[in-house]
Amino acid sequence: MIRFERVAVIGVGLIGGSFALALKAAGACAQVVGVGRGAENLDVARRRGAIDAVAADAAEAARGADLVLVATPVAQYAGVFAAIGPVLGSRAIVTDAGSTKQDVVAAARRALGARISQFVPAHPIAGAEHSGAAAASAELFGGKRVVLTPLAETAAAAADAVEQAWAACGARPHRMTPEAHDAVFAAVSHLPHLLAYALVHDIATRDDAGLLFGYAASGFRDFTRIASSQPEMWRDICVANRVALLAELDRYAAQLAALRPLVERGDGAELERVFGAARAARERWLKGDFEP
Amino acid sequence: MIRFERVAVIGVGLIGGSFALALKAAGACAQVVGVGRGAENLDVARRRGAIDAVAADAAEAARGADLVLVATPVAQYAGVFAAIGPVLGSRAIVTDAGSTKQDVVAAARRALGARISQFVPAHPIAGAEHSGAAAASAELFGGKRVVLTPLAETAAAAADAVEQAWAACGARPHRMTPEAHDAVFAAVSHLPHLLAYALVHDIATRDDAGLLFGYAASGFRDFTRIASSQPEMWRDICVANRVALLAELDRYAAQLAALRPLVERGDGAELERVFGAARAARERWLKGDFEP
């Protein structure tokens, strides 16, 4: 089992706090130093045993660390990379937990220079209703996928170490390129969020919004659950991954345009075929028939 | 409390079976006669106490009944109305549980003639993962809305009796016109189903469907839950309510077209405003701020 001496968690929220708790539960690290915006939240993280010490800033946390997890909102990554770059030891490894990867890689390249070989971009596919260190759990990543997108310059040993760290947290690591990652998540995550926000926004801005919401039921509730996601986080994701998201949005608009005449002419046979194919694919997915 | 002597349930599935169980639990009926396609399903309904007797067909069930619930798939309504029309007693009341109302009203007018005054169209806003009499429950309608769409010709006493029957089942009755009903449900139910089917179908038909489904997570699961709904039922709903659904589909396409340039130019401020407004509206809805 891999073991780190000093792990720096930059951004001790749900993800950063859960990573720290999971590594500790696995006996994979000796000490965790945390940094974050809220003193109260860091206090919770310390009381819950996620972190052992609080650093004043990212540079102080990263100094002397053999593993650094960047888990702030992605919009803050450029500043974090710029702060930690100069203090990174030659054997330190940096990873992150951002939902987009090409923009993260670009920011890391700009700020880390030659240290880019020590950076292993990652995206754990896990979340929860609540945020902050109070919601963190050593079990958050259990059985969940984590995508690693090592670069051509990434040291093989660094990628292996990050893979083992996530595996120690209970996650199932997979590797792909940053471009493939952003295309896949544009389709199965970023677009659905945009679609859910769009539906709720459209209804909310009508004169009869009260009447419409008054009759919305459980199907509507589940379909729009992701429209209760953090607006700031999804703003950043949509902007960072706008090229891939735009391609998905155009594909989806074309799909709706293809369904429109079926509805217009009441083509029940073809509608049933489309609905049946979708349902069958979803049932296969629920059974776990699709593995990357 | 209202009380019926002989209730006929045409189509003893989840909805019909639950209506019978709920009426009986409330002591609001003496006897339930059921009719349906599957002998096995009717046997389950009888063993579970939902029905007391099985009729050979809809006419036999309706003969002598003081309340008839039509709860088959809507596509069968025309045949059911034609079968029961001639045998309806002058004091019998007919109601239904269809998800669309204008097409049901049109079918009822054609088949029932002057007996249309005895028909009270209804739509209980309740469902469950499973179907059939085995999934029926006396509690299915507890606290749920049921929309009644009485017509100009509907006898006031008939509408009141149906309202009391649904209230006895624990549901909360509301009245609106068939046109308003179909417009409201096109927006908050029929369109979301079409959108969810469209997304899953689009992904399922790609060469890299396995890769994409392989990384789909809980947000995707909830967003697409309604794409596991019965294709036949949703085919019928989309065809029956195509005028209102088409209007909603066009509104939604326009909403996406309005969001597209925000994504394209990376307009984070405006995206955040839209997402924030949607989230705030949804949170108000979850708190129960919207009542029809």
Q: What is the ipTM of this complex?
A: 0.92
B202 closest CB neighbour out of A217, A221, A251: A251
**pLDDT number for residue A37:** 82
Q: Quick one: which H or E segment has residue B248? A: helix B242-264
What ranges make up the beta strands (E) of A39-188? Answer: 53-54, 67-70, 93-96, 119-120, 122-124, 145-148, 172-175
Phi-psi domain of A230 (left: phi exceeds 0; alpha: psi -120 through 50; beta: other): beta
Whether residue A196 and residue B268 make contact (CB cut-off 8 A), yes or no, is no
State both tokens at B85.
């029309």
Counting Cβ atoms within 10 Å, is residue B278 exposed (0-12), middle (13-18) or buried (19+)? buried
Average pLDDT estimate for A140-162 = 97
Give, in words, the CATH class of B180-286. Answer: mainly alpha
Give the type of residue at A126: A
Which residues in chain B come in under a pLDDT of 70?
129
User: Are A4-176 and A180-286 in the same CATH fold?
Assistant: no
Residue pLDDT, tens place only, B79-109? 999 999 999 999 999 999 999 999 999 999 9
pLDDT in tens, A28-52: 999 999 999 899 999 999 999 999 9
**Is the dihedral angle over the CA atoms A288, A129, B139, B185 positive or is it negative?**
negative
- Whether A243 has its CB under 8 Å from any CB of chain B: the answer is no
- Mutation test of the interface with chain A: which of B285, B286, B287, B291, choosing the one with the most A Cβ atoms within 10 A? B285
**Residue A176 contacts residue A102 (beta carbons within 8 Å):** no
Query: Which B positions 58-87 lie with beta carbon below 8 A of chain A?
Result: none
**Residue A218: which of B249, B292, B129 has the closest Cα?**
B129
CA–CA separation, A264 vs B258, rounded Å?
Answer: 23
Distance CA B272, CA A231 (A): 5
Residue A273's pLDDT band (cuts 50, 70, 90): very high
**Which CATH number describes the domain made up of B4-176?**
3.40.50.720
Q: Is the pLDDT assigned to residue A292 strictly greater than 80?
A: no
Q: How far is residue B240 from each of residues A172, B101, B148, B268, measured CA to CA in Å? A: 46, 9, 18, 40
pTM exceeds 0.90? yes
Residue B184's φ and ψ, nearest 5 degrees, are -60, -45
Domain locations in chain B? Answer: 4-176, 180-286
Q: Residue B54 — φ and ψ, nearest 5°?
A: -110, 130
